[in-house]
Homo-oligomer: A and B are copies of this chain.
Amino acid sequence: MSRTLITGLQLIGNNFSGEGDDTFRAFDPRQQQWLPQEFREATTGEIDAALNLAAKAFPLYKKTTAAQRAAFLEAIADDIVSLGDELINVASAESGLPLPRLQGERDRTTGQLRLFANTIKEGSWVNARINTGTPDVRQMQIPIGVTGIFGASNFPLAFSVAGGDTAAALAAGCPVVFKAHPAHPHTSYLVATAIRKAILRTQMPEGVFSMVHGTSHETGQYLAAHPIVSAIAFTGSFRGGKALYETATRRAVPIPVYAEMGSVNPVFFLPGILREKGPALAMQLLQSVTLGVGQFCTNPGMFITPSEDAAAAFISALQQGIGAMSGGPMLTPGILDAYHNGIRLLQQTGAAVLGAAPDTAQQATPYLLQVSAEKALENPAICHEVFGPSSLHIHAGSIDELYQVARKLEGQLTATIHGTEADLQQHADLVDILREKAGRIIINGFPTGVAVNQSMVHGGPWPATTPAAGTSVGTAAIYRFCRPVCYQDFPAYLLPPELQDSNPMHIWRLVNGDFSNTQK
């Protein structure tokens, strides 16, 4: 299956290592079989070795120039591309995701790496601030230290080994010890070899990146508790993120945990637009709910309509449409089980089935469920995320009830409103309410699809993420791995280039309160 020899080992600094005896294998969810390659679980000795190398690398890596780090990120992107079809085939086998989706995800991954490379080459991201006078004080962002980053199951490339978190941390100047997701160890291994090649090629210090395998929570907890680690980034379940948060905040020296823990991403439909184009919106909603077998953090797991009248045609179109939707294999058997259990639980707590696609063995079945706003308001647990291709219709009896649902929402990655101009003008306060609940508000669109650029926010109030003041997608993600430092009365020869009077990088700076990109 593979042209690169996949050894199933950890990457500790620039060397592969397999000290432990415990092994695990990946599962092919389409073929419903375990893949033959054995992967070694990392021992604590190997994790220590990775962290010690990272600690040694940090003083060297933080002193690399932005251009050097950019070249490193670009080399990683190039080396990922060089893995060719093998990477895509391997990822597809162990995730069940189709090839075109993974090709797109590879583009996104290399695109992210290049976007961060461009961001640090341009340089203004450091938020340089200069106040001359007595004293002379100059501030900029510096890297926070060694980071522990966790791969997510649902994006084996873009939120994994060389994904957005790794790109942001490396761009900032932080070494990364990466905990690979056990659902895609072949893919992780291949990407780690690409990073290793880039390290050697661009002469980065050994230890700037290591990758360990682990199927147990203990590996992650060990990382979060380790004194060498200065920050954790994680994308996954609420339970997993919360456990890391608890460990990290109870250490002798607490550290930040940037955990993206999912969301139900409520979609609100206002009366006018339902009347105007309910059936068309129904089809778009179904597409968004079932896209990628619903395996997105931004999957619209809940939608709300304001009254029976306005929603009748819309609901009827949904009921007709759902039968034609296709499910598919999910990422892992565990995720598939959790999905169908989640649907059963929803029914037990009082949700009715509004419609479903036909059942297929070993595949997730798309579902629409329904519950009254009254019941949802009584029992907030009914509004928790069910990861997969389903959505829960919250059937409000009136616009007032719709507002009550909005006000009672937990923190979300996204919240969406569909409305005509008249709807939106009349219900501008709904935007206002939802702004307090989510990191991204979408008008007349769907939450799936997360643009990677300067303006994206992929984060939101607890329990969507911790802390709310972060994003794990887009260039602002770099600030999670930084802190500000102030240089007071420094002679020019000790100042970093970003803060020197001559502004050699021509970056934008706040000089005595005014923005400029010239010399001081």
Q: Which A104-157 residues have C-beta < 8 A from chain B?
A: 118, 122, 124, 129-131, 135, 137-139, 142, 144-145
Let me know if A518 is at the binding interface, CB within 8 A.
no
Let me know if A254 is at the binding interface, CB within 8 A.
yes
A494 with B443, Cβ < 8 A, contacts A435-B142, A515-B517, A517-B515 known: yes
CA distance A490 to B430 in the complex (A): 13
Size of chain A's interface in residues, with CB distance under 8 A?
Answer: 75
Q: A142-B435, A424-B493, A441-B485 are in contact. List 13 more A-B contacts (CB 8 A).
A: A118-B513, A122-B513, A131-B453, A137-B451, A139-B457, A139-B474, A249-B254, A253-B461, A439-B485, A443-B487, A461-B483, A467-B483, A469-B482
Distance (whole angstroms) from the CB of A320 to the closest CB of chain B? 27
- Mask for A8-42, Cβ within 8 A of B = 1, else 0? 00000000000000000000000000000000000
Q: Which A451-496 residues have C-beta < 8 A from chain B?
A: 451, 453-457, 459, 461-463, 466-469, 471, 474, 476, 479, 482-491, 493-494
**A476 to B484, Cβ gap below 8 A?**
yes
Nearest 10 CB-CB pairings of A with B = A457-B486, A440-B486, A249-B249, A129-B455, A137-B455, A139-B455, A442-B488, A469-B483, A131-B453, A131-B455
Let me know if A428 is at the binding interface, CB within 8 A.
yes
Chain B residue contacts of A131, Cβ below 8 A: 451, 453-456
**A456 to B249, Cβ gap below 8 A?**
no
A254 with B129, Cβ < 8 A, contacts A485-B439, A517-B515 known: no
Which chain B residue has the least Cβ–Cβ distance from A499? Answer: B455
Distance (whole angstroms) from the CB of A126 to the closest CB of chain B? 13
CA distance A451 to B138 in the complex (A): 11
Let me know if A421 is at the binding interface, CB within 8 A.
yes
Let me know if A508 is at the binding interface, CB within 8 A.
yes
